[in-house]
Structure 1
């Protein structure tokens, strides 16, 4: 009994304080004696580690005694750490780039060249997105550049240059972070967090660069096939060599974005290259959508974006707020990457998408251009996650009849990722007369449907007319997809005008493997001919204007043939794939697929 009382008495002496008075400490021990001393002092042992330490709850006085025990290495308060949470800068929020990112738009696969002072080669939230870089002037390390901030203020005196295009000024890294800082839970979030960044260092540590260096950077980037060039730089005077470089890049389909300049308040003072009509000129606004007092303005301003106290990356693994049209420019560059990744690749179309979606914030046109940038609207807005239906197959074949009508069977297959298919509508048009001959509607539901629908051109007695069948698939939210297929009527319901049956397309499947730089399609086909005299099969990519971007032609013979054609064209807006099969008698059958 005495032992029991003594035991509790010892605990009471050491831990006599109330539970609220106990402290939680980590104790590092030198040996078993130290571990035993910590346990004796503890009111509660919370955790023992495999290494020489344990966590205990203990009275403050007992903790102090442990600190003086020679068998104890340390006694520390059991503090806390917090995750370094990612911050969404207000510019990403106000332009609704965060909504686009939440909807799955990240700019993946698009190359953005930051033509500037370089990019930090090791920044925690940029490194994953860094691609190949280039320098017209090598980065300077621990030089006497002057220090003291971005742009013309002097260099940052980084201790070690990790690449010749490393950022020795801060300015380029700040712009890069706004355009494409990764969505990785650290630091800040960029407008296009999966775009690939390319440092094109044309400005020295003091923030200045010669015309020829800047022109060389534009040229190098264009030669690499970059999609977007972000230029937070400029001058009051124009440069012919830089203008030539802009034309060189424009001819290669590069979307160019530049800061309007910081000459404000002023009128008609947009700097160069922003005022070049091949470049998207960006003015600066603040968190309230007011014009920044430093922003240059004029008729050349195309769009406005946040540029006051914008938070972004600076070397090394640091973050800072800068102001300037330089900070507004990469918001638009990142948005251009988003639009390109979304499938709009032609440079003028990208510009149109950005300007058409810009939000009027009540400024003069010379101040905001088309309005303040809205990334989500440039991508079509947030439709609540509803995906449009897809048309997986559409093929049309003539039905042989002797009733004086031209009849066709349209076989089709549709699908919808949201499983909310609603209807399939088909229309038969006589291409010669330009008249609608027949329509039909099929109710569908779920995530996939297929069928064959009979369409009739009444009273057509075999004149050899061409017909087009249009299929429109809609879902319950009103989203739709359209495709067409063509067919030529044979004489007398199956006998060609020269006494031979034209060939038939039995299978025509297009697989789209395009990216922002290339339009790539695999065309899987199977054809047949009742007369056994197949001649050629040709697959073609057609642009929006109807021109042929690429074509593959294969010889064929006998009554049937099949194959796969690979089509590709660089930086073209392909809208249709056309398949043409011809027999030895010159009869041909043509079908198209929208892409």
Structure 2
């Protein structure tokens, strides 16, 4: 049961554009034993970027699953990663040892990882973008696109979207953090600028892109206090196309608690924020638009500059739910978006008043319970 109000244009993210690229592909250098055989790269679904004269080889982007087949060809001498190099004094920061953030544990994601890690589910982070070279995210970023004037790619120049992405899909490696659904394919859909704001039209274009490119889940950690009919129509179109749409409920509890959009639209799963003690966050907006709750206080995740940061907000709560939705879809791809909503809300850990309430919705999202 969600409500409606009036009209405006600007969005901000909830924490206290158009060129595209794709792939879970690998950038490699291929050296040949004899004459350069660029045709072998193309035959294995790759794209040749450079052909070298100084050695018999090429640089290429090739699907990871085709590398072994290419390397097995008798004409190939070796394949190596096309690694990044840095100006002296500009090395990226050293990476901390991997930890499982408390929010990821709280939604029972680690218990669920024996059953699902979100593999092959496509998740749109409609936000400030994602840092495309972040060492704890880059292997999961499959697409990037920008609808922000002056921004040519989905790279994050703010940090907010990168933080959101790490909650959903921080890579399960030896560094940093691990996300709720660490095997999903991420789309960095940039609709907010460097200062964290953007126009409704940019958000609509981002949603439109997600529909056109067969995404499964959209995370919207952004809001406005003003109703937009155009935005609601775009979101309803995405929902009718089968997408799961998750949005932050808002951080307005102490400053008027006004209705927040897109969270208040009826086809959106609106998420409030909780702390480590399962209490509602002091800032978390509440009302009849809230569907479910998730961790949103002192959340450690990826951040711009190849770093990590601790942030609070319903912006951090929403991606916990988006990650759970992706993991659930990977476990059972036949589920409709309505069935995903129902499973997540019906298996949530009840908090506050018995049953639904305006603060926690149906309760704290519980991925492991949703899989049973």
> Does residue 340 of structure 2 align to residue 350 of structure 1?
yes
Give 1:337's match in structure 2, choosing from 322, 326, 331. Answer: 326
Give the match for residue 372 of structure 1. 364
Query: What does residue 494 of structure 1 align with?
Result: none
Shift of 1:86: 0.8
Match of 2:240 in 1: 251
The correspondence of residues 167-316 of structure 1 with structure 2, limited to 5 A, is 167-265=156-254, 269-316=258-305
Looking at structure 2, the residues matched to 247 and 316 of structure 1 have their Cα atoms a distance apart, in angstroms, of: 36
CA distance in 1, matches of 2:107, 2:154: 30
Residues 326-382 of structure 1: per-residue CA shift (max 9 Å, x gap): 0000000000001110115301001011101100122571000000111111111xx
More strand by share: 1
How much does 1:268 deviate?
A: 6.2
Q: Give the secondary structure class of the aligned counterpart of 1:339.
A: helix
Whole-Å Cα distance in 1 between the matches of residues 161 and 119 of structure 2? 21
Structure 1 distance, partners of 2:218, 2:125, is 6
Deviation, 1:134, is 1.1
- Partner Cα separation in structure 2 for residue 320 and residue 279 of structure 1: 28
State the 1:174 CA deviation: 0.3
Tell me the CA shift for residue 139 of structure 1.
6.6
TM-score, structure 2 normalization: 0.72
| Distance in 1 between residues matched to 2:211 and 2:143, nearest whole Å | 13
Greater Rg over alpha carbons, structure: 1
Equivalent residue for 2:108?
96
Task: Report the CA distance shift for 1:266/1:373 in structure 2 as closer, same or farther (over 3 A).
Answer: farther
Once residues 139 and 315 of structure 1 are traced to their aligned partners in structure 2, the CA distance between those partners, rounded to angstroms, is: 19
TM-score, with structure 1 as normaliser: 0.45
Structure 1 residues 267 and 341, CA gap change in structure 2 (3 angstroms): farther
Name the residue aligned to 2:123: 112
Residue 251 of structure 1 and its aligned partner are, at CA, apart by: 1.6
Q: CA deviation at 1:226?
A: 0.2
Distance 1:352 1:96, change over 3 A: same
Does the 8 Å CA contact 1:139/1:167 hold for their aligned counterparts?
Answer: no
> 1:90-121 CA distances to partner (integer Å, 9 max, x unpaired)?
000111111111x1410001000000000001
Q: CA–CA distance in 1 between the matches of 2:285 and 2:105? A: 24
* Cα distance in structure 1, aligned partners of 2:255 and 2:304: 33
Per-residue CA deviations over 1:513-557 (Å, capped at 9, x if unaligned) read: xxxxxxxxxxxxxxxxxxxxxxxxxxxxxxxxxxxxxxxxxxxxx
How far apart are 1:229 and its partner, in Å?
Answer: 0.2
Paired with 2:259 and 2:183, the residues of 1 have a C-alpha distance of 31
Paired residue secondary structure (1:229): strand
Unmatched 5+ residue regions in structure 2?
1-93
Task: Tell me, yes or no, if the aligned pair for 2:95 and 2:307 is still in contact at 8 Å.
Answer: no
SS at match of 1:283: strand
For residues 533-591 of structure 1, the C-alpha deviation after alignment (integer angstroms, 9 at most, x for no partner) is xxxxxxxxxxxxxxxxxxxxxxxxxxxxxxxxxxxxxxxxxxxxxxxxxxxxxxxxxxx
Structure ranking higher on relative contact order (CA contacts 8 Å, 6+ apart): 2
Structure 1 residues 139 and 167: alpha-carbon distance in aligned structure 2, compared to 1, 3 A threshold: farther
- 1:248 Cα deviation (Å)? 1.5
Offset of 1:245 from its aligned partner?
0.7
For residues 104 and 371 of structure 2, what CA distance do their matches in structure 1 show?
15
Paired residue secondary structure (1:112): strand
The residue correspondences of 1:500-519 to structure 2 (distance < 5 A) are none
Deviation at 1:266, TM superposition (A): 6.8
CA distance in 2, matches of 1:266, 1:202: 25
What is the aligned-residue RMSD (CA, Å)?
A: 1.7
State how 1:53-72 maps to structure 2 within 5 Å: none
Cα separation, 2, equivalents of 1:90 and 1:248: 35
**Alpha-carbon separation, structure 1, partners of 2:180 and 2:189:** 19
Question: What SS is found at the alignment partner of 2:142?
Answer: coil
The offset of 1:273, in angstroms, is 0.5
The one-character-per-residue Cα deviations of 1:468-505 (angstroms, maximum 9, x if unpaired) are xxxxxxxxxxxxxxxxxxxxxxxxxxxxxxxxxxxxxx
Residue 132 of structure 1: SS of its match in structure 2? strand
> Over residues 123-151 of structure 1, what are the superposed CA-to-partner deviations in whole Å (9 max), with x where a residue is unaligned?
111011001111101576xxxxxxxxxxx
CA shift, 1:216, in A, is: 0.7
Alignment partner of 1:164 out of 140, 146, 153: 153
Matches within 5 A, 1:308-457: 308-343=297-332, 344-362=334-352, 365-380=357-372
Query: How far apart are the structure 1 equivalents of 2:258 and 2:318?
Result: 16
Cα distance change of structure 1 residues 289 and 270 upon mapping to structure 2, 3 Å threshold: farther
Secondary structure in 2 aligned to 1:340? helix
Deviation at 1:279, TM superposition (A): 0.2
- Greater helix content: 2
Q: Are residues 243 and 83 of structure 1, via their aligned partners in 2, closer, same or farther at CA, if it must alter by over 3 Å?
A: closer
Aligned length: 276
Q: Aligned residue for 2:56?
A: none
Give the deviation of 1:122 after TM superposition.
0.5
- Quick one: distance in 1 between partners of 2:371 and 2:164? 22
Note the C-alpha offset of 1:265. Answer: 3.3
Structure 1 portions without partners, runs of 5+: 1-81, 141-162, 381-595
Match in the other structure for 2:18:
none
CA contact (8 A) 2:273 2:284 kept: yes
